[in-house]
Structure 1
Amino acid sequence: MTTAWLVLAVGEERQHGGNDGYDDDPSQHYSWDDTVPNHANLKVGDVIALWDKKQLLGLGVISQIETGSEVKTLYFCPVCKKADFKRRKKLKPTCLCNKCGAQFEEPGSKTKTVVTYRSRHGETWMDGRGLLTGAELRALCDSPRSQLSMRPARWEKLRDALLALEGIDAEDLDMDDAQADEDTVRKPIAGGHRMANVKTRQGQPAFRKQLLKDHGQVCAFTGPAPTAALQAAHLYSFAEESEHHDWGGLLLRNDVHSLFDRGQIAVNPDTGLIDVDEELLTYPAYADLHGKIPRARLRPEHEVWLAAHWRSHRNTP
């Protein structure tokens, strides 16, 4: 039987008392580390279903799992030393330990090198926002009362629950075909975890959170977009700089971010207008951007970085 995993993904709120959170893009990838229960149990070929405690967000088949490492700050209750506490938004003291009941304003902290994991499932992603409630999803888990952020379930049970809904048919849920059909591009990569040397971007969740605070739910080039569709885009090579510069990033829609990194979408520093590579002009969605003013309010620092990006990709002096 196919294993399914119900995993928690609640955007910028996806963090617990023990750490600073994770950088997810629900429709493409899911991130965790070896401090999370069940961290090593997810496999290529498993179905991954993402939820936000209230409802299903969507599901897909894991096609690969990347591993890496990073130094992470871990937080704990200063009384019992456990990491199981919650941060309260309105009550004081801010923190309440779920283990010993202690209340405190600032947790203890330590740094630790952790193994990081990132699943890829975008090839088979099915948007399922709102199809099943949180209570319905919990009931499908092997342990319905579990409080873990990564919970095992049976794909057959999840599939049957979705098929019982009006408007959903078997073709919408061909996860089994994605696993078995050798001719389809949706076939997961066999062989367990794909071991890769991955440089994890430390501070990326905080960087994205600051951009959302500065600009709201707006792609800098295309305009308003759902938070889940927005990525924190560096306007320079983070691999070379390894630093989150002030005003060195903008929010970009997932596809636009990818094209921006390739230089196929850029901002002409002479005109201040978006310039779209000729190859993309056959696609109306991108052609419509050509010659338009960016939708985000740009600071002088943004303009400096964007000009450097232009020179780097358009080979102009």
Structure 2
Amino acid sequence: MPRAWSCIAVGDDRQYGGNSGYDDELASRYSFDSNVANHKQVSKGDLIILRDGDRALGMATVEEVTSSPGTKLIRRCPVCRVTGLKERVKKHPKWRCNNGHEFEPPSESEEPVDKYVARFGSSFVRLGQAVSVTQLKSIALRPGDQTSIEELDLPGLERLMFPTSQEALNMVAVAGFLRSPASDEADEEHETDLVPSVADEREQVLRAIKVRRGQSSFRRGLIKRYGSRCLVTGCELEALLEAAHIAPYRNASHNDLSNGLLLRADIHTLFDLFLVWIDPITLIVTFDESVCHAGYAAYQGKQLQVGIKRPSLACLKVRAELLSMDLA
């Protein structure tokens, strides 16, 4: 189940307090060790928001996490041995520990640690000046002033990313969709009526199949945009036409008409279940093999029947990525 983390990354070879440094490369990897809280929690598929002391620098999806044994040069207070140190520029002695002892220099020793590297592949997205550390702290699940790796609330992160970066928002959308609801792991004989969180998109999609007539204004807008016909089958019986969201619905902002398709009810159900998908570039419609055998072969390989106003390319790409992740 993907999680989101705020990680201090103040630059290449970052160092602070008792740490002698980490070998980071902002756009491709994040390094940490077993002295850091949450070091065992960061996993493949998680989101990492890299930050300095003031703002978020960028976001990435973890492609892999590797670990190896090693040693690290650790600085400690020579009086009380704590690693919580601050190097001062204008005062002497230059060093002060969290317990108030002042000294120069700190004691140093090589200590055994497990070293971790989270690699991002090509997923890194820069965030500019848009998101402050204060905003990230406001959505921390367990706030801590000195936490180098701090877990964030995924729906809260989505709200921060919405006005910031479409690429970053797409990454949060994928992570949110892949969060498995608790009922996925429950015994079928003991299932409960789960009320999902905002991030539990898989559960929301299944519930949406049963609740078709909500958001009537969205449906009316799509009829005006595309005409009273199913964009896949050409069916013109308006009573059977439903408004389908391309990128999964979370809030009213997702009711933009470019994020919608007008589909016959059965096609809408197949679309929600990822048994039919649309190529973002060519708009060619493809049905799952099992669906073709059930009577839908006539629509296989046809192009979506839109006019001048195409659906959003970004939304179609989000859905294609969700599909590839869901089938992986």
With the length of structure 1 as denominator, give the TM-score of the two structures.
Answer: 0.52
The answer to whether the 8 Å contact 1:60/1:175 transfers is no
Q: Which residue in the other structure is 1:139 paired with?
A: 138
Confirm whether residue 119 of structure 1 aligns to residue 118 of structure 2: yes
Q: Which residue in the other structure is 1:48 paired with?
A: 48
Quick one: which amino acid aligns to residue 95 of structure 1? Answer: W
Q: Which residue in the other structure is 2:73 paired with?
A: 73
Confirm whether residue 174 of structure 1 aligns to residue 174 of structure 2: no
Q: State the Cα distance separating 1:59 from its structure 2 match.
A: 0.5
Q: Higher relative contact order by CA 8 Å / sep ≥ 6: 1 or 2?
A: 1
Q: Which runs of 5+ in 2 are unaligned?
A: 179-328
Q: State the Cα distance separating 1:47 from its structure 2 match.
A: 0.6
For residues 52-88 of structure 1, the C-alpha deviation after alignment (integer angstroms, 9 at most, x for no partner) is: 0211111111110011122211111011111111111
Q: Which residue in the other structure is 2:314 paired with?
A: none
Give matches, 1:1-317, under 5 Å.
2-12=2-12, 14-98=14-98, 100-163=99-162, 165=163, 168-169=165-166, 172-177=169-174
Q: 1:8 to 1:147 in 2, by over 3 A?
A: same
Quick one: which amino acid aligns to residue 42 of structure 1? Answer: V
The answer to whether the 8 Å contact 2:13/2:21 transfers is yes
Percent identity for Structure 1 against Structure 2: 30
Q: Which runs of 5+ in 1 are unaligned?
A: 182-317
Count of aligned residue pairs for this structure pair: 178
Separation in 2 of the partners of 1:134 and 1:34?
A: 24
Separation in 1 of the partners of 2:141 and 2:26?
A: 23
Separation in 2 of the partners of 1:170 and 1:110?
A: 43
With the length of structure 2 as denominator, give the TM-score of the two structures.
Answer: 0.50
Structure 1 range deviating more: 9-18 or 135-144: 9-18
Q: 1:154 to 1:2 in 2, by over 3 A?
A: farther
Separation in 2 of the partners of 1:178 and 1:142?
A: 17
Separation in 2 of the partners of 1:31 and 1:169?
A: 27
The answer to whether the 8 Å contact 1:47/1:155 transfers is no
Q: 1:8 to 1:157 in 2, by over 3 A?
A: same
